[in-house]
Amino acid sequence: MSPRDNQNEVLSGGNEANINRTTESPERENVDYHTNRSKHNDGWRHLVRNFTPAWFSVNMGTGITSILLNTLPYNGKWLYWISVVIFCLNIVLFVIFFAITILRYVLYPKIFYLMVTHPTQSLFLGTLPMGFATIINMICYVCVPVWGDWAVYFAWALWIADVVVSIMTCFGIPFIVYGHANPFLEGTIKTDSRSRMTRTADSKLQAMGAAWLLPIVSCVVAAASGGIVADLLPDPQYALGTIIVSYVLWGIGVPLAMMVIVIYLMRLILYKLPQKAVIVSTFLPLGPLGQGGFGIQKLGVAAQKVFPLTGTLRPGSGDTLYDIGFLMGLLLWSFGCIWLFFAVAAIIRSKKFPFNLGWWAFTFPLGVFTTCTNQLGQEMPSRFFRVLGTILSVCVLLLWIVVSLFTLKGIFNRSLFVAPCLGDLQEYEPKRFQKAKHKSKT
């Protein structure tokens, strides 16, 4: 049975009455049920219904590729224009994905609750603000030098919106998911037996994945973008407020991400590598480490420039934050090196693994680790970091091309349009089928 056959769902609003009117005739009921299922599992409706938040990871990978090509240590005019083309492509993709997302929850509002409370799908909501942040960064790199101050304030306004969504994601999603009954583990603790409770705790830890980092890292990405925007704002007071907010976001995201990384490392030690279908997720810890290192450096650069202009703290405090930012960036980069080794070794050991949207975890985590590398090379300055950053940038570009080609193939054969959260929907399902399913679950 295909995943599409397991996703029984219907249009919202007024459909329950239609079902009730058909219950007088079982034959009519079955015909209406299969007709509605067919209608919403084919054509554009199928694509909309199964369009998950994970698609915004495409924006993350595409955006970081454009950023790397634009900020490459050994750059050229032709690379600049390639980065602009990819930047424009990323904007188009984001607008399309956002429009489909809105359409999905307008046509099928019940899906939103299922998605938000799903233990895995809801975590990918963090990809939306992170993908949007890459667009903001490129506006600062590409549009501001050409269009002037109004482009800076435009990027600043977009950044404020991104911060709001990032905070909602970082605070809300973990609480909703971790506080909501997990359908995969529901009902396992029903005894006072110590061994049973131990097995339950073990199963919960084994089910843990690196995707838990996604809603948390959104604050880290927003903090790094804040450092870029603050460095360009003409008004020192606006820049100061942006820097302070960005430090707060960094302080929220990085320590919390470290806690999750520790739990994930424990899960790897106890239960070995994850399944091949999600083996690419081993790259995800590179995200908060690389982006955290890059962000704290950019905030230090901005503080060194803005603090003397605003008289914030004591004289020389901006230089102190700059030095601390460089040191923290170097330490986080060093920590990221061992995770990069673990991830590459896991991929080599797994050899062949199926393609899915999780492959975009290749690009963004490695990409932000590369931005941290490039920033270290710029601040020291160091030829070693510049050469290493260039090599890693080329690797990210090649990975982006490969993953993009596989994604296009998945779009054409529709294999990527599968939403796991739709499995328990009961709309457009005859009531006697719903009762049978309920009894079987009980």
Q: What DSSP line would sit under 227-292, residue for residue?
A: HHHHTT-SSHHHHHHHHHHHHHHHHHHHHHHHHHHHHHHHHHHHH-SPPGGGGGGGGTTHHHHHHH
Q: What is the largest CA-CA distance in the chain?
A: 83
Per-residue pLDDT tens listing for the chain (442 residues) = 444 444 433 333 333 333 333 344 444 444 444 445 555 566 788 889 999 999 999 999 999 999 999 999 888 889 999 999 999 999 999 999 999 999 999 999 889 988 998 888 899 999 999 999 999 999 999 999 999 899 999 999 999 999 999 999 999 998 887 666 444 344 333 334 443 333 344 456 777 888 899 999 999 999 999 999 999 999 999 999 999 999 999 999 999 999 999 999 998 888 888 888 888 989 999 999 999 999 999 999 999 999 999 988 888 999 999 999 999 999 999 999 999 999 999 999 888 888 888 899 889 999 999 999 999 999 998 999 999 999 999 999 999 999 999 999 999 988 888 888 787 565 544 444 344 444 444 4
pLDDT tens per residue, range 271-287: 888 888 888 989 999 99
In whole angstroms, what separates CA 82 from the centre of its chain? 24
Amino acid at position 48, single letter = V
In this prediction, residue 200 carries a pLDDT of 43
Q: Exposure of 34 by Cβ count < 10 A (0-12 exposed, 13-18 middle, 19+ buried)?
A: exposed
Domains belonging to the chain, first-starting first, are 51-183+196-416 (1.50.10.150)
Please tell me the distance from the alpha carbon of residue 294 to that of residue 425, in angstroms, as a whole number: 43
Tokens of 202: 């073990």
pLDDT tens per residue, range 373-398: 999 999 998 999 999 999 999 999 99
In this prediction, residue 210 carries a pLDDT of 87
